[in-house]
Structure 1
Amino acid sequence: MQVINELFIKNIDVIPLIQKSVSTIFDITDSSAELSDAREQVSTLENEISSLIDLKIKNPNLSQDTFDAKYFVLSDQLTSAQSQVKKLESKYISDHESFKKMDMINQLLKDRKEGISEFDAQTLRAFLYRIIAVGQNEIVFVINNKKKYSDDEFSSERRQIINLPSVEEGSYYHEKYDKTMKYKVVII
C-alpha cells in the first residue's frame, strides 16, 4: 500500500505517463470511425442482396445460375463484413472501458490526495491488473489496457510481461524493516 501511495499519489508524473501510453496504444475515435465504416458496408451489402432478390422477382427470366452466383458472392461478403463489425464492436468496447478506467483512476486520485489508507476492490482494480513478485525486494505493477488474460495465459506470459519496458520505475525504502523495494509499472 505504501509503494502504491508513493507511486500514484506522491509521484505526480506517473499518471500523465500512463495516460500518454494508453493514448498511444489506441484511439477511441479511430475505433468509432472504423466501426461506423464497417456497419455502413454491412448495410450496403444487405441492400445489394435485397435489390438482387427484387430483380429476380421482377425478372423471372433471369438465369438461376447467374442469380445464385451473385447471391453467394454477396452473402459471403456480408458474412465477412458482419464478422468484422463484431470484432470492431469488441475493440470499441474495450477501448471505451480503458478510457473509463483512466477517468476512475483520476477521480480516485482527486478524492484521496492524502494517500490511500486502505484498499478496497474498486481501488485495487482501478490502478492495477496484477502485481508480480519478481523477487523478495522487487515487484512489477501490471496495468492491463487491452487484452483479457486467463489466469493460465497470464501465468505463462509472466516472464515476458516482467521484461516489458516500464512507464515508471523506482524504489521505496521502509525504515521500520530497513528494506528497499524496487518496483516498475508496465502496461500490457
Structure 2
Amino acid sequence: MRHYEVVFLVHPDQSENVPAMMERYRSMIEGADGKVHREEDWGRRQLAHAINKIHKAHYLMVNIECSQAALDELVGAFRFNDAVLRYLVIKRDKAITEVSLMAQAQEEERARDEAAAIAQAERAKIASERAPEAEAAPEAEAEAEAAPEAEAEAEAAPEAEAEAEA
C-alpha cells in the first residue's frame, strides 16, 4: 500500500457537516484495509482566489495509507460531493504523523489568544481591586490636607489662650 497526503476544501456553508464527512471518508479508507495516520481540520480560511464566487472554505488534511482502488474510491467520492470545492492528492514516501506547520501555527495562535485573555482577566481583577482603594484615596487625601490645618490651629490655640489670660 502507498502513502498519500490528501487536502480538500469544503464549501463554507457545509462546515457543520465536516465531522460526518471525515468519518465517512475515514470509514471508506479503513473499509478497504487502509489506515489514517494523521487527520487535521485547519478550519475556515480565506481562499487565494474565488472558487465559484466563494471566498472562504473549510480546509481539511488527511495522511492515509491505502491501495490504489481505495484512493480511486475516495477521489470519486470527492468528485460527486458538491460540498467539496477542490482536492489535492500527493503521493508520499512514508507515513507522516507529526503535526503540520498549519496546525502548529493554529496552536500557537490559540495559545497566544488564551494568554491574552488571561492577562486581560487579571488586569480587570486588579482594576476592580483598586477601585475601592481609588474611592478611599480622595478621602485620605482630603484628611491629609486637613491635618496640617488642624495642627496649625492646635498650635495657635495655646498661644491664643496665653494671650487671653494675660
Q: TM-score, normalised by structure 2?
A: 0.30
Relative CO higher for 1 or 2, CA cutoff 8 Å, sep ≥ 6?
2
> Which protein has the bigger strand share?
2
Name which one, 1 or 2, has greater alpha-carbon Rg. 2
